[in-house]
A and B are shown apart, each in its own frame.
Chain A
């Protein structure tokens, strides 16, 4: 098949506190595949575990449970040369472009370092390769090389980092909030680059974002995360045109859109008890039922459209659970 990377039952538990401490499950037993030449957007609010997923794939964190399979091999077993090979194929670009560069060196350094380490054999063609990769992201090397990061805009710096991954023959790019710090007028150009790389270079992208309209614009597949769980997963058009999970519906109705005003809602955030082992959205869900005290699993409802919700599956209960309004005082 054309799976590039398979995520199987991935779980990450963080321990906090010095003595004793408490545990936070940032990623809770999730499984999905990323295919070749696919842009998959991972959408969730802060604390949903979306960044942790990216960091686990980049091997910046060790999974507590579960496996990440790349080309048939569990990446946690990679060492030495094999690991280096993995990093040629899987690269990340992060939110803050200014933090990704060392301000006292010229931007050329991000390219030079590659040729010192990963691309020793190509060092004789270094300049051509750099110019070529910069062109692919719409930059003119004359405007870029020899300058310092502070002389560039955020959009330029992000493109330089994408160009850098092109030199490495990257197959999967983990783009964690890649454009959330960029201005509206330059942001869409960087998004278009991702689309072009998918179409021309057959690159796959895990596009981590909290902005649904950006995810809708660029991705083939959308994955909605909530409190470490995948609550909905499917072809982007299906998820957005026919959202099945109540959380996804709530998110979509909250997206500020031009030409559509928000519907007014109660000025109160619904919060109740979260049953251990239950649905992660239980306390905020308008459809919560008694069965929801046991966590629903991700099930395929339509073709290419999965959801983890009993109500969406059609389970009915004559015992809906309601939360009192006066839980806050």
Chain B
């Protein structure tokens, strides 16, 4: 399968008065064309920073190394102007809190037209609006929506409108950042199905689906990447990651999720003791060291960052327990 996005040792730091916050610190992964690539992790693990930086790297975010090759071009080295030209057409985002993303003083059609015109001068105003109406209809919104203001729409409708706007120019890669997190279960399901529909109609080719909710990823993602404190800990096929996790963090994270059929009175689930490290001065070794129950080689774990290796075909893990020679786990 062809790689649409290939990210290598990519680093994005936040510049603060106290120093640099290493929010994304050397992550490597790739996204195949025509797949949904899930990114999961706790708050502060760098998943949103990663998504946002690929779209628009604005201060205090700072590029600190590595490459991100999209369709043959290293977009991490792009200037603002170069980036502006591919944004929306090649790579697009549904931002977190999409419901608040639209200006309340403009009609939906004006928002759509302004945005598309900025990136694509070939389409006429009418063509743009017709396209938007067609997509709105597809997801059960009335054509009257284009003449409304965003404040006239409910939260769920706003979310859908933003999803349509973000994908209007058929971007190759769509970054969906926590699009289900503020929604009720029935709307969550709706958003995911809508994304699926857009993908099958080829409005988007690949999706990076960022969320903290692994059970939603299980529904939609082809592959999942788990992040912890700015590092990648594990990448693999959805079924493998969710049902047969290998990295100690992924294992604990998944076992801490309440599932239907488990009640407190019968089985007490456990969280992960401790807290993620401060990324201003991250530990020198594995970032999960403090909370890890495994620590196969305490010295090494504490002092050396475990590299991300392909442990099995299509299964990448960054943990000293899974590096050849230390193979006593499993």
Contacts and interface: CB of A to CB of B under 8 A. Distances in A.
Contact of B212 (A46, A184, A195, A259): A184
A185 B256 contact: yes
A258 B214 contact: yes
B254 A258 contact: yes
Contacts of B192: 262
A45 interface: yes
B271 A255 contact: no
Interface stretch (B30-38, B50-58, B132-140): B132-140
Given A254-B189, A258-B242, A329-B142, A187 B264 contact: no
Contact of A218 (B139, B253, B264, B270): B264
Given A46-B155, A192-B268, A264-B193, A217 B185 contact: no
A65 interface: no
Given A254-B188, A255-B185, A259-B243, A213 B260 contact: yes
B281 interface: no
B140 A256 contact: no
A256 B188 contact: yes
Given A46-B155, A257-B259, A185 B186 contact: no
Contact of A184 (B42, B186, B193): B42
A132 to B, nearest CB: 21
B323 interface: no
Contacts of B141: 328
A319 interface: no
A45 B194 contact: no
B258 A191 contact: yes
Contacts of A265: 189, 193
Interface string B151-195: 000010000000000000000000000000000111111101110
Contacts of B254: 258
Contacts of B87: none
A328 B140 contact: yes
Contacts of A46: 155, 184
A251 interface: yes
Contact of B185 (A189, A216, A256, A261): A256
A254 B188 CA distance: 8
A187 B271 contact: yes
Contact of A267 (B155, B197, B218, B268): B197
A264 B254 CA distance: 25
A187 B252 CA distance: 13
Contacts of A257: 215, 218, 259-260
A153 B274 CA distance: 10
Interface string A301-329: 00000000000000000000000000011
Given A191-B264, A328-B140, A185 B272 contact: yes
Contact of B138 (A183, A256, A267): A267
Interface string B244-261: 000000001110111111
Contacts of A262: 189, 192-193, 219
A254 B185 CA distance: 6
Contact of B264 (A217, A251, A255, A269): A217
A236 interface: yes
A45 B186 contact: yes
A217 B271 CA distance: 14
B271 A186 contact: yes
B262 interface: yes
B140 A269 contact: yes
Contacts of B187: 45
A185 B42 contact: yes
Contacts of A256: 185, 188-189, 213, 215-216, 218-219
A216 B185 CA distance: 14
A255 B257 CA distance: 13
Interface of B: 42-43, 137-143, 155, 184-190, 192-194, 197, 212-216, 218-219, 242-243, 252-254, 256-265, 268-272, 275
18 contacts: A45-B187, A186-B272, A191-B258, A195-B264, A195-B265, A210-B185, A212-B260, A213-B260, A251-B186, A254-B189, A256-B189, A257-B260, A259-B259, A262-B193, A265-B189, A267-B193, A267-B197, A269-B190
Given A213-B215, A216-B263, A259-B242, 6 more contacts: A188-B256, A213-B257, A217-B263, A257-B259, A258-B242, A328-B141
Q: Shortest 8 CB-CB distances between A and B: which pairs?
A: A45-B184, A189-B271, A185-B272, A217-B258, A256-B215, A183-B42, A268-B140, A254-B185
